[in-house]
Amino acid sequence: QVQLVETGGGLVQAGGSLRLSCEASGRTLSRYAVGWFRQAPGKERERVGAISRTGGSTWYAESVKDRFTISRDNAKNTVYLLMNALKPEDTAVYYCRPEIEVPWGQGTQVTVSS
């Protein structure tokens, strides 16, 4: 049974930064490309970025492209989402998910105050 665990969220002022981490129990996350997603209250879940298996390629939604950076440390079996210059519109629950069929984790709450 695979369990995705996202950590690192919190409350931050606009313009601040947070780094989220993604780990998975029961599976080697380093074997897969991984996406980051977010869901704001009353809105559908949206994909904000992704990283290839080795970390050589990344993709970002245009809304976060100049501010967010995805990286990974396969030796630690962890994927990161560094969020800079945070805006109130970034407030959401953030989730990670590899390119395999596994249940969503509980996510981590990011709240950006104005």
Q: What percent of the chain has a predicted confidence (pLDDT) above 90?
A: 89
Helix or strand (DSSP H, E) at 110: strand 108-113
C-alpha–C-alpha distance, residues 49 and 44, integer Å: 16
| pLDDT for 27 beyond 80 | no
| pLDDT for 77 beyond 80 | yes
Residue whose structure tokens are 């989220």: 20
Give me the amino acid identity at 61.
Answer: A
Q: What percent of the chain has a predicted confidence (pLDDT) above 70?
A: 100
Asked whether the CA dihedral 37, 88, 110, 43 is positive or negative, the reply is negative
pLDDT value at residue 42: 94
Question: Per the structure block, which two tokens stand in for 43?
Answer: 């809105």
Decide: residue 22, CB within 10 A, 0-12 exposed, 13-18 middle, 19+ buried.
buried
| pLDDT for 85 beyond 80 | yes
| pLDDT for 26 beyond 80 | no
The stretch 92-100 carries a mean pLDDT of 96
Question: Per the structure block, which two tokens stand in for 24?
Answer: 């998975």
Residue 90: name the closest of 21, 33, 37 by CA: 37
pLDDT value at residue 28: 85
Eight-state DSSP code of residue 11: E
